[in-house]
Amino acid sequence: MDRQLKGSVSLPGSKSESNRVLMVAAYGGFSFEMENGKRRTENGKLSEAHDTVLLKQTSLRAERSGAWQSTEEVIIDCEDVGTASRFLMSYLAGKPGTWILTGSPRLRQRPMAPLVEALRQLGADIAYLEAEGCLPVKINGKKLQGGSVLIDASQSSQFVSSLLMAAPTWERGLQLQLKAEAVSMPYVDMTIAIMRHFGAKVERRVDSIEVQPGAYQSKPFVVSPDWSAASYWYEMAALSDDCDLLLEGLTLDSLQGDAVVAEWFKAFGVQSSFEPQGVRLTKSDDSLSQEPLVFDFTMTPDLFPAVFVTCVALHRPTVFRGIQTLSLKESDRVTALVTELLKCYHFDYSINHNEIILNTSSLLHHKIASENIVFDPFGDHRVAMALAGLFLRLGSVSFHHPEVVSKSYPTFWSELQTYF
C-alpha cells in the first residue's frame, strides 16, 4: 500500500482565538478589524467552525433582542457548543433581561456549576431549571460590580476565561483565585493575551488573576491557523511511510498551547520545519526507539485523540496522563476511541480516573476487511478526525455522521480527499 503524504493543507482559523475575539468585541461593543497578515491572504479570518458561527449568532441575538425592554424570556440555544454556553453565561449574567440558556441533550450533561457558583458570588441571579449544576438555566441579567471570587477550574478552563473576559466591564474588576489542579491553562493564557491586545489590564500570578476595570479598545487582530486541527495531520504524517506536507500559515509563535504537538510527534519520526509559508512535515530516517512513551494531557486535552490513535496504530506502549476531563467533552473520548479502535486492532490497556496505559497492540484483525469497518464518532468531531487518519493503515475508512467535523474543521474531508 502506498502511504505517501505529500502536498499542502489549508488549516482553519483557530476556533479558540476566534471565539475569544468575538466575546471581547461583544463586551467592547465593536466589530473588530482583522488583518490579513503577511503569510497568506486567508490568515486573519474568523474560524468558519460551527462553534464559532453559533457563538457569533447567539451573541448577536442576545445583543439585538431588546430583552431589557421586555418581561418576556429570551431563549439562547447553544446546541452542542460548550464554549458558547460558558462564555455566554457571564455575558448574559451582566446583560439586563431574562434569559434561558440551554443546549443539546449532551450539552445539558456537561458541567456548569463552578461558573454558576462564581457568578452568584459576584451577584448574578442564575437558577437551574432541571438538573443541578447543568443547563438549562434561567438568568435574570443585571449590572454586576465584580470583586473577589474563588473558582474551581479542575473541570474546564473555560470557566476562568468566561469570567476574565467579562471582568473589564465590571466597576470593581475581578480578583480571581484559582483552586489547585486547574486544567488547560494555556487556554487561559490565550484569553489573557487577547484581552491585553484589546487594551485590558490583566495581571497573572501562579494561582490568581487580577483584572482592572476599563473599556476594551477596538484594534485589528490576526487569527492564526488552528494547531488543534494540525494535530490530525501530524498523526497522518506519523502513520505515513513518506511525508512532505506543508501546513500553510502555521507558525510556532502561537498563542495556542496545542503547538506542543510539533515537539511530541518527534517521538514518531515527524519533523517540523518552520518556513515563511508555514510548517513542513517530513519523516525522519532515524531508527525510532520502542521505549514506552509518556504524555500528559492536563494542559492540552484536545491533543489526546490524535496521539492515542497514533500510538495504537504504531503499536507503541504508552502512558497517557491527565485524561480526567476527557469524559466531559462532546463524548467520553477515551471510551469512544477505545470502542472504535477495538474494531480493527487488538490492544491491551488499563484505565483509571486520570491515566490510561497502553501495553501492547497487534495487527489488524484478519477476519475483518477494512472496508467493512464503519466508525461511529459518538457525535464528536475530534474522535472522527483522529480515526480518519487510519486510512493510511486500513486502506479506507467509513463513518456514521461524518458531518460532525464541521464543529471545528468544516473543510477537513475536502482537504483529506486528495490523499484517499
Number of neighbours of residue 109 by Cβ within 10 angstroms: 12
Of 101, 97, 62, 106, nearest in space to 85 by CA:
101
The answer to whether the beta carbons of residues 397 and 390 sit under 8 Å apart is yes
Q: For residue 183, give Cα distances in angstroms to 75, 152, 224, 331.
A: 30, 10, 23, 18
Nearest-angstrom CA–CA distance, 245 and 247: 6
Long-range contacts (CB closer than 8 Å, 24 or more residues apart) made by 62-68: 62/88, 62/91, 62/92, 62/95, 62/97, 62/99, 63/26, 65/97, 67/95, 67/96, 67/97, 67/98, 67/99, 67/141, 68/95, 68/96, 68/97, 68/141
Closest CA to 297 of 228, 235, 379: 228
How many other C-beta atoms lie within 10 A of the C-beta of residue 240? 23
Angle of helix 185-197 relative to helix 158-166, nearest 10 degrees?
20
CA-wise closest residue to 326 among 376, 383, 377 = 383
Q: Catalytic residue positions?
A: 302
Report CA Rg, the chain: 22
Please list, residue by residue across 276-287, b when 16 or more beta carbons sit within 10 angstroms of its beta carbon and e when fewer do: eebbbbbbeeee
* Sequence-distant (≥ 6) Cβ neighbours of residue 189 within 8 angstroms: 204, 255, 257
In whole angstroms, give the CA distance from residue 200 to residue 146: 15
Cα gap 290→317, rounded to integer Å: 8
What angle do the packed helices 304-313 and 227-239 form, to 10 degrees?
0
Starting from the edge strand earliest in sequence, which strands make up the sheet with 270-275, in order?
4-10, 242-248, 278-283, 270-275
Alpha-carbon distance of 179 to 108, in angstroms, equals 24
Which has the closest alpha carbon to 260: 222, 304, 322? Answer: 304
Q: Where are the alpha helices (DSSP H) in 327-408?
A: 333-341, 381-388, 391-394
